[in-house]
């Protein structure tokens, strides 16, 4: 059992023997601590959900592209930009979400709770499938859809094509809009709830979109991109918005009906507890004696100093 103490009114000996100290002697601080603790856990889960989706799509596209057309649809420098969006920008955006009172309405996480829940795995698989289907359609029949030159089987020093630029731009747009979906990890439908309260989040989204537009329109040879028309841009944005619509479809699938094997990391293992309740009376007496001895020694040390 953990002990709680007021930091101002409590004695020094009691402070050293306690596990939690309230520095302001206000018991409402416990509620805030619980809110922030749950918020930190949720922020990590949101980032994992987003990052794993991007990783799955990028790896599958690069591997199948190399096998099917002997070249990756996403170039190395483009992957660096995607990694910057995925690691740095997304981490800042998703980690700056402020805690809300809704966090207190949920039951606490158990020791055996997997790090990636069934709902998160459902979102990862669902959004990965959507993005992979769109990207492979653009790779293999994109030139027919947009009536442009075929970019497949191009030689090493060929100029960047509109075909593969559309593939790259559509992938980034879907990633950006999926970042909005990643804000919710408990099957909530309104993914925009509280978005206006986090200026860092939407500033990062806007900055990333502007950076993507500059790379596509003016990146040229350095980023292996060709300038796109307004119509092509609208189609890429439309495919990105489709992530939000597809997210509502995924949310409609009950997570409880999915197999428990979809959970990952920490399944079947216990999170070590710092303070654990004794199992029998002998252990209880032993712990009480040790606690008394420790408290007595600490008091004696205080008197000597």
| Spatial contact of 7 and 23, defined as CB atoms under 8 Å apart | yes
- Which H or E run includes 5? strand 4-6
> pLDDT in tens for each of the 305 residues of the chain?
344 444 455 556 556 666 666 665 666 777 777 788 888 888 899 999 999 999 999 999 999 988 888 888 888 899 999 988 877 888 888 888 888 777 778 787 777 778 888 899 999 999 999 999 999 999 999 999 999 888 787 766 778 889 999 999 999 999 999 999 999 888 888 999 888 888 999 899 999 999 999 999 998 888 989 999 999 999 999 999 999 999 999 999 988 877 777 665 544 444 444 334 444 555 555 555 555 555 555 554 544 55
Distances (CA, A) of 131 to 94, 205, 246, 268, 289: 21, 19, 10, 31, 61
Give me the residues paired with residue 20 across strands.
4
H-state helical runs in 104-161 = 118-146
Q: In 3D, which of 245, 207, 193, 185 has the Cα closest to residue 53?
A: 185
The closest of 149, 47, 142, 39 to 93, measured between CA atoms, is: 47
**What does CATH list as the number for 49-262?**
1.20.1110.10
- What pLDDT does 27 receive? 67
* Contact criterion met (CB below 8 Å) for 2 and 20: yes
- C-beta separation of 143 from 163 below 8 A: yes
Predicted TM-score of the model (pTM):
0.78
190: helix, strand or coil = coil
DSSP strand pairing (4-6 vs 20-22): parallel
- Residue ranges, CATH 1.20.1110.10, the chain: 49-262
């Amino acid at each position: 059992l953990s002990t709680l103490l007021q930091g101002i009114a409590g004695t020094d000996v009691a402070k050293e023997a306690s596990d939690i100290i309230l520095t302001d002697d206000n018991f409402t601080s416990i509620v805030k601590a619980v809110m922030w603790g749950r918020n930190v856990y949720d922020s990590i889960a949101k980032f994992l959900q987003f990052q794993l989706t991007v990783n799955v799509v990028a790896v599958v596209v690069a591997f199948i592209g190399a096998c099917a057309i002997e070249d990756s649809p996403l170039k190395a420098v483009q992957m660096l930009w995607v990694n910057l969006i995925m690691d740095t920008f997304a981490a800042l955006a998703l980690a700056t979400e402020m805690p809300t009172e809704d966090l207190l309405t949920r039951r606490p996480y158990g020791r055996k709770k997997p790090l990636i829940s069934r709902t998160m795995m459902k979102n990862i698989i669902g959004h990965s499938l959507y993005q992979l289907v769109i990207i492979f359609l653009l790779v293999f029949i994109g030139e027919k859809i947009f009536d442009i030159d075929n970019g497949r089987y191009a030689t090493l020093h060929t100029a960047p094509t509109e075909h593969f630029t559309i593939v790259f731009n559509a992938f980034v747009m879907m990633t950006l809009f999926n970042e909005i979906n990643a804000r919710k990890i408990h099957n909530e439908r309104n993914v925009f709830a509280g978005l206006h309260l986090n200026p860092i989040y939407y500033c990062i989204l806007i900055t990333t979109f502007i950076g993507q537009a500059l790379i596509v329109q003016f990146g040229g040879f350095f980023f292996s991109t060709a300038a796109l028309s307004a119509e092509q841009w609208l189609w890429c944005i439309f495919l990105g918005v489709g992530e939000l619509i597809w997210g509502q479809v995924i949310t409609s699938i009950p997570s409880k009906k999915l197999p428990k094997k979809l959970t990952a990391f920490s399944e079947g293992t216990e999170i070590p507890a710092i303070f654990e309740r004794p199992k029998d009376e002998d252990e209880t007496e032993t712990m009480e004696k040790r606690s008394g001895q420790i408290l007595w020694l600490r008091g004696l040390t205080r008197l000597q100093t």
